[in-house]
């Protein structure tokens, strides 16, 4: 793939540029059992190449940071649980405001397991109720999540074929992208899901401050129209995202020495 001209400012000024990307559905194909998601072959290598040449390369995901480290290695910068957890310089950097919600989440996980008998993913600082394999239960899980949010003070978020309960701490992909990309000359974000729309909106705000911004949507059968409509570039599945990252890595100036 030739580098789309919209991304040329990133390769021209890599030391003032940010490349931020989602994980599931973007770097890793969506699979029925979310525990089995793995990045496409070549993803780790291209992120390492980009990290060597670009000021900021960061993966922002709804997954726990520990999961991302397991799949992508310890050398990348990562935000897990939509920014409730971070990993940088080879180690965890927790967001303190979120930590006091850990026991509340543990209680909600126990209740979900006892009451729902549905796939409950315990993420430590949040939990996910999956209905990919049982779409007919989506309404029931939604009602349960709403009642649990009311009771516990956690907040509900919609994701692809799932619902999440989070601490009421103001982090999402938008706050992460805004924090990470502020001060850069150019920034792109790549994502495939509703949660990534907030990242696009953050880029809109940065664009208003003069940053060159590029919104990349990864298209699949499940892509929300809201995301596709707002994208500057649309790529075909995680393979398309990988091609784009490889084109960008190949367009970087050769590093000295």
The residues of the shown chain that bind Mg ion, judged by CB under 5 A, are 22, 24-25, 192-193
Q: What is the DSSP letter of 209?
A: T
Closest CB 191 distance from Mg ion, rounded Å: 6
The residue (of 22 and 246) whose beta carbon lies closer to Mg ion is 22
- Please give the Cα distance from 135 to 127 (Å, whole number): 18
The residue (of 29 and 92) whose beta carbon lies closer to Mg ion is 29
The residue (of 22 and 185) whose beta carbon lies closer to Mg ion is 22
Closest CB 193 distance from Mg ion, rounded Å: 4
Direct distance between the N- and C-terminal alpha carbons of the chain, in angstroms, rounded to an integer: 27
Rounded alpha-carbon distances, angstroms, from residue 95 to 20, 65, 101: 19, 12, 11
The residue (of 185 and 193) whose beta carbon lies closer to Mg ion is 193
Closest CB 151 distance from Mg ion, rounded Å: 29
Closest CB 82 distance from Mg ion, rounded Å: 11
The residue (of 16 and 214) whose beta carbon lies closer to Mg ion is 214
Q: In the bound complex, which residue of the shown chain has the CB atom lying closest to Mg ion?
A: 25
SS (H, E, C) 191-249: ECCHHHHHHHHHHHHHHHCCCEEEEEEEECCCCCHHHHHHCCEEEEHHHHHHHHHHHHH
Closest CB 161 distance from Mg ion, rounded Å: 11
């Amino acid at each position: 793939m030739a580098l789309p001209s919209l991304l040329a400012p990133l390769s021209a000024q890599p030391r003032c540029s940010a490349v931020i990307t989602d994980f599931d559905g973007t770097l890793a194909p969506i699979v029925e059992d979310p525990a089995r998601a793995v990045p496409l072959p070549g993803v780790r290598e291209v992120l390492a190449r980009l990290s060597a040449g670009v000021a900021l390369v960061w993966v922002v995901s709804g997954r726990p940071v520990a999961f991302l480290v397991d799949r992508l290695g310890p050398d990348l910068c990562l935000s897990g649980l939509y920014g409730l957890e971070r990993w940088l310089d080879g180690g965890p950097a927790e967001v303190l405001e979120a930590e006091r919600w850990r026991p509340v989440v543990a209680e909600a996980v126990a209740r979900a397991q006892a009451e729902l008998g549905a796939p409950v993913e315990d993420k430590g600082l949040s939990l996910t109720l999956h209905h990919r394999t049982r779409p007919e239960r989506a309404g029931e899980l939604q009602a349960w999540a709403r009642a649990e949010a009311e009771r516990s003070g956690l907040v509900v978020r919609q994701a692809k074929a799932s619902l999440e309960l989070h601490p009421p701490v103001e982090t999402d992909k938008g706050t992460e992208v805004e924090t990470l990309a502020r001060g850069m000359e150019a920034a792109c974000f790549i994502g495939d899901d509703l949660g990534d729309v907030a990242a696009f909106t953050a880029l809109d705000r940065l664009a208003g401050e003069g940053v060159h911004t590029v919104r990349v949507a990864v298209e699949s059968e499940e892509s929300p129209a809201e995301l596709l409509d707002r994208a500057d570039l649309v790529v075909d599945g995680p393979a398309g995202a990988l091609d784009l990252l490889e084109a960008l890595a190949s367009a970087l100036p050769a590093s000295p020495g």
